[in-house]
Structure 1
Amino acid sequence: MAKADTTPRETVPELTGFQRDLLYTIADAAPAKGTKIKAALEDYYGEEINHGRLYPNLDELVDSGLVWKGERDKRTNEYGLTGAGEALLAQRCEWQAGKLEGVSA
């Protein structure tokens, strides 16, 4: 049986898959307007993402400190990853890579 990883890590916030996809999308497009993020996710999912799903999730990520929100102008917000958001994605990528070791496509 494999030994458990006891390396101390920052607490990983509980995110939905959609919120993780938002982080990856923002990392790729930042700083990005909500409409750009929405379009990228719609391309990925192959379906429309409604505002009632997108913006509350963006607000949760802002409130959790993983995403920053700024004003591009009076009507338009833009979003980017904070240092904590970048660290979380790096940790996630490392974790995923470890899980896929030895798996062939």
Structure 2
Amino acid sequence: MSSPTENAAHSLADLSATQRDLLWILSQTGPSESRSLYHTLADYYTDGIDHSRICGSLQELIERDFVTKQTHDTTEYQLTEPGRRALSARQAWQAGTHHAEGRNE
């Protein structure tokens, strides 16, 4: 069983909508540059979005181990396995299919 600290570290509940949207985009597109992520979000958000907000959100996702950053000729961001698991758990919760830990049904 996971400790409350581990659950908090790998939960999306306290992330911003922008951060959750970035995780979703990365899960659908694979490794992406910040410019591509920005354009995808700018197309989705009707009130616009600041590029620095994207960079700050990505940095926090890196610190939480949901995303990795790789720099070669360009800088790409990629979803990590903990990021995939957290996103999957959130999708299950949204669909109403998650079960309380340790609860037998």
TM over 0.5: yes
Identity of aligned residues (%): 36
In the alignment, structure 2 segments of 5+ residues that lack a partner are 98-105
Which structure has more RCO (C-alpha within 8 Å, separation ≥ 6)? 2
Q: Could you state the TM-score of these two structures normalised by the residue count of structure 2?
A: 0.77
What TM-score, normalized to structure 1? 0.77
Residue 47 of structure 1, CA deviation: 4.0
Q: CA RMSD in A?
A: 1.9
Return 5+ residue gaps in structure 1 as ranges: 1-6, 100-105
Which moved further from structure 2: 12-21 or 29-38? Answer: 12-21
Is 1:39 aligned with 2:39?
yes
Total equivalences in the alignment: 91
In structure 1, distance between residues paired with 2:25 and 2:59: 15
Q: Distance in 1 between matches of 2:69 and 2:36?
A: 14
Partner of 1:4: none
Larger Rg: 1
